[in-house]
Structures are given as structure tokens and as C-alpha cells.
Amino acid sequence: MSARQRIYWTCQFVGWGVLVIGNVVSSFLVDQLVFEIYFASAVMLILGIVISHTFHNIANRLEWTRMSVLPLIPRVLIATLLMGMIFALLYGAISDLFFSHAKKILVASGGQIFIDIINFSVVFFIWNLLFFAFHIFDNFRAAQIKNLELKAAKTEIELSSFKNQMNPHFMFNSLNSIRALIDENPARAKEAVTKLSGLLRNSLSLGKKQLVTLREELEMVEHYLAIEKIRYEERLNVVYQIPEEALDLEVPPYMVQTVVENAIKHGISKLKEGGTISLMADLHPEHYLLFIENTGFLASAKWEEGIGISNTRERLHLLFDDAAHFEMRETGQGTVQVRIHIPNNKKS
């Protein structure tokens, strides 16, 4: 039994126990039918726990505990009335079956079923108020924790991406390639400097957003690949198959960039002849798919161990829960494919 379950059952027994003991004490002061008092109290305790726990399970199954306050109010009021009605009918039937006076001991109304329902509904209203107040607070706290985790993961991947782009080895290769172009092709060298500055600028600006458009993400990817193209020349080919309507869809910043960086590091750079990186998108009504493929093999676990890939998985989960998926596989044709499934929140 988890700590959460122990707290729940402790509150159940303590709460109903206090109510029953209070009724026993008040009834004992005006009536001497001690055994009937104890029996009726036991019935009240058992029915209270069984009915409230049954509702607890139903509410969890229907995900009422995840609802916001406004849509929850009418559901709880109806459920409270039903719980009070069921309790009053069962309690009255059991009391009448065993002891004709037992019901009157604990119900000040004198046995009127309508008043009994109201009385017990008030009790269950208090129970529901405490139950859902706890869950609303718990959901609020969980949302805060999730938001902090998302910010931490986002910050970590921002720093990782920026560090990779400011990596002395990357900067040395980029500047060395640009220097070689200055005499050979000044116009292309100037363009390369622009791409490098654009890459560094995007690394700073995109990090301020929780989600960016695919257009913005691909702009940074294009800057990065343009610089790497100078280094790898004919060894690096890039293919884009992105529909125009997909460019306004939202993705976590650095997600595609991180996968492309890994494709260069663990795929293209390991092959003497180089290879191709392909970026594709496939749209569906409720979701869209991103595919990033590169020539290479998934023979090394470094792909999965990298902090960028693990953080990408974590950020997708934090942003979209189980609605997003990140898969990596080797197609068997000397190609590694990353498949990213993201829910489509864009309104047409």
C-alpha cells in the first residue's frame, strides 16, 4: 500500500469514526438501548465507507479528479444527492429489519425518508468537498512540478544546444572553413558568416519560447546544415520534403535541431562517403509526423544515451503527455530513422 493510499484510508476511518462516535455519544445521552446504538453505529460506519469508497473509484475512473472546478460542480451535486439517497434507503432498511428503534436513534428527523436523504446528503457533501479540494490542490501542485520540470529540461537542452554550437571544435571547423572560402569564393564566405551568426542568434531567441513553429525551427536547422555543408562538401546531402501547410505547426524548440546534430555526429561523420539527411512531415487531422532520416547505422547506443535525445523525449512527454511519441530505428537499408508523433493543436 502506497503512502497516498494509507493517508486515504486513515482519513476514511477517522472521518467516519468521528461522525459515528459523535452520534453514539449524543444518542446514549437520551436513550439506553446501548446494543441498538452500537449496531446502528456499525451500520453507519460500514455504509459510509463502502458508499464513499465506491464513489471514489467511480470518480477516478471517470477522471472527475482531473476536471476543473466549474464542470465538476453539477456532477458532484448530483452524485452527492444519489449517495445520500442510497445511504438513507439502505440504512433505513437495515435498521427496520433488525431494530425498529435503531433508525430513530441516529436520525433526528424521526424517520422521514426525505429528511434522512437531506441529512445524509449534507454528510456526503462535506466528504466530497474535502475529497475534491484535496485533488484540486494536488493537481495544482502536480502542474507546478511539471512546469518546473519542463523549464528545467528546456533550459538544459538550450544550454546543450548552445554549448554544441559554441563548442571550440565546431567553431574552429566553421571559421576554418569560412577562412578557406574567403579567397576562393568571397560571396559564399560572406553567406557562411551570415548563416553562422543566424544560427547563434536563433539559439538565443528560440529558447525564450515553449513552442515554436516548424518554420522557425527549420530556419535554425538550415543555418546549421549550411555551415556543416561547407565542412563536409559533397559528403553531405540534405533533402526537405515538408508541405507548406506543415510549416505553421508547433514543435518544441531545438527538437529537430538536436536530432539533426546527432545525425551528423553519429551518422554522416562516421561514413567515408558521407550520406544524406532527409527531413519529412506527414499531416493527419489529429496529429502530424516528423521524420528525420540519415545515412548510417544504429550500431552504437550513443544515440540513445545522448543528453539531447533523452531531453527531447522528456520534453515531449512533459508538453503532450502520452499523446506524443519519439521513436528511433534502423530501417535495414543503411538508414537511421527518427519518427516523432505530435498532436495537432492547430485550428483550421
Q: pLDDT digits over 109-120, tens only?
A: 444 577 778 888
Is a pLDDT exceeding 90 seen at residue 294?
yes
* Residue, of 299 and 197, whose pLDDT is higher: 197
Residue 10 placed within a domain = yes
User: 196 and 298 in one domain?
Assistant: yes
Confidence grade of residue 342 (pLDDT, cut at 50, 70, 90): very high
Please work out, in degrees rounded to the nearest 5, the angle formed at the alpha carbon of residue 110 by the alpha carbons of 51 and 48. 10
Residue 78 has pLDDT above 60, yes or no: yes
The whole domain housing 141 covers: 3-145
Same domain, residue pair 204 and 137: no
Model confidence pLDDT, tens digit, residues 170-229: 566 677 777 877 877 788 788 888 888 877 777 667 666 778 899 999 988 888 888 888
Inside any domain, residue 84: yes
pLDDT at 21: 81
Asked whether residue 107 falls in the same domain as residue 240, the answer is: no
pLDDT of residue 196: 80
Name the pLDDT band for 348 (thresholds 50, 70, 90): very low
Q: Is 152 a domain residue?
A: no
Asked if 33 and 180 sit in the same domain, the reply is no
Same domain (yes/no): 190, 286: yes
- The residue that leads in pLDDT, 88 or 36, is 88
Confidence check: pLDDT of 66 > 90: no
CB under 8 A, 24+ apart: contacts of 228-235: 228/264, 230/174, 230/177, 230/178, 230/181, 230/192, 231/173, 231/174, 231/177, 232/268, 232/269, 232/274, 234/274, 235/268, 235/271, 235/273, 235/274, 235/275
Question: Exposed, middle or buried by CB within 10 Å (0-12, 13-18, 19+), for 118?
Answer: middle
Q: Do 101 and 16 have their domain in common?
A: yes
Whether 162 is covered by a domain: the verdict is: no
Whether 97 and 176 map to the same domain: the answer is no
Domain assignment present for 156: no
On whether residue 59 sits in a domain, the answer given is yes
Please provide the average confidence, as pLDDT, over all residues in the chain.
79
CATH of the domain at 249: 3.30.565.10
CA atoms within 13 A on the CB side of 82: 10
**155 within domain boundaries:** no
Whether 195 and 106 share a structural domain: no
Give the global pTM: 0.55
Whether 189 and 242 share a structural domain: yes
Q: Are residues 292 and 203 in the same domain?
A: yes
* Residues whose CB is less than 8 angstroms from the CB of residue 103 and which lie 6 or more positions away in sequence, other chains included: 40, 91, 92, 95, 96, 111
Whether residue 141 is found in the same domain as residue 172: no
Give me the number of domains the chain comprises. 2
Query: Are 178 and 232 within one domain?
Result: yes
Q: Is residue 187 part of a domain?
A: yes
**Tens digit of each residue's pLDDT (9 = 90 or more) over 246-291:** 999 998 888 898 899 888 888 888 888 889 999 999 998 889 999 9
The yes-or-no verdict on residue 158 having pLDDT over 90 is no
Using a pLDDT cut of 70, give the percent of the chain over it: 80
In this predicted structure, what is the pLDDT of residue 325? 92
pLDDT at 166: 43
